[in-house]
A and B are shown apart, each in its own frame.
Chain A
Amino acid sequence: MASVTFLSQMFRDMRSQKLRTLLTMFGIIWGTSAVILLLSFGEGIHMNQRKSVHGLGEYIVIMWGGRTSQDFQGLPRNREIRFKEEDAALLQTVPHMKAVSAEYGQGGVKARVGKVDKLVRISACWPVFAEIRNLIPQEGSRFINDEDMKYRRRVVFLGTELAEELFPGQDAVGQYIHLNGVPFQVIGVMKQKEQDSSYNSRDTRMTFIPSTTFKTMFGREYLNNIVFKADEPKNVPQVISGVYEALGAKYKFAPDDKEALSMWDTSEMETFFNAFFGGFRIFLGVIGAFTLIVGGIGISNIMNVVVEERTKEIGIKMALGAKKRFVRTQFVLETLLLVTIGGLIGFLFSYAVISLFPLLHFEEYVGIPRMSFSVSVAAISILGLIGLVAGYFPARRASDLNPVEALRL
Chain B
Amino acid sequence: MPNGNGTIINMQGIHKVYDTGKVKVDALKGIDLKIQRGTFAAIIGPSGSGKSTLMNILGCLDVPTDGVYEFNGERVDGLHHNRLAEIRNEQVGFVFQNFNLLPYATALENVELPLIFKGVPTKKRRERAVELLEKVGLGERVSHLAIELSGGEMQRVSIARALANNPSLILADEPTGNLDTKSGRAIIELFEELWQKGHTILIITHDPNIPQRTERVIHIKDGQLTENGNGAH
Hey, which bits of chain A sit against chain B, CB under 8 A? 1-2, 4-5, 9, 12-13, 16, 312-313, 315-326, 403-404, 407
Contact = CB atoms under 8 A, between A and B. Distances in A.
Residue in A2, A9, A320, A407 whose Cβ sees the most chain B Cβ within 10 Å = A320
Contact of A16 (B104, B109, B116): B104
Q: How extensive is the interface on chain B, given as a class? A: 20 to 34
Nearest to A324: B81
B117 A326 contact: yes
B61 interface: yes
Contacts of A407: 61, 96, 100
Nearest to B113: A320
Specify the main secondary structure of chain B where it touches its partner: helix
B79 to A, nearest CB: 13
A313 B99 CA distance: 12
Given A318-B85, A321-B90, 8 more contacts: A1-B122, A4-B122, A318-B88, A319-B59, A319-B100, A320-B89, A320-B94, A322-B85
Interface string B61-103: 1100000000000000000011001101110001010001110
A326 B114 CA distance: 12
Contacts of B61: 318-319, 403-404, 407
B94 A2 contact: no
B102 A321 contact: no
Interface of B: 56, 59, 61-62, 81-82, 85-86, 88-90, 94, 96, 100-102, 104-105, 109, 112-114, 116-119, 121-122, 125, 161, 165
A323 B118 CA distance: 10
Residue in B59, B105, B113, B119 whose Cβ sees the most chain A Cβ within 10 Å = B113
A409 to B, nearest CB: 10
A120 B121 CA distance: 84
Nearest to A13: B104
A321 B89 contact: yes
Contacts of B116: 1-2, 5
Contacts of A5: 109, 112, 116
A318 B112 CA distance: 14
Contacts of B86: 321, 323
A317 to B, nearest CB: 7
Contact of B102 (A1, A2, A9): A9
Nearest to B91: A321
Contact of B121 (A1, A9, A324, A403): A1
Contacts of B119: 2
Nearest to A408: B52
B104 A12 contact: yes
Given A320-B89, A321-B90, A9 B113 contact: no
Nearest to B82: A323
23 contacts: A2-B119, A5-B109, A13-B104, A16-B104, A313-B102, A316-B101, A316-B102, A316-B113, A317-B113, A319-B61, A319-B94, A320-B117, A320-B161, A322-B117, A323-B86, A324-B81, A325-B82, A326-B117, A403-B61, A403-B62, A404-B56, A404-B62, A407-B61
Contacts of B81: 323-324
B228 to A, nearest CB: 29
A4 B59 CA distance: 29
A164 B181 CA distance: 99
A4 B116 CA distance: 11
Nearest to A322: B117
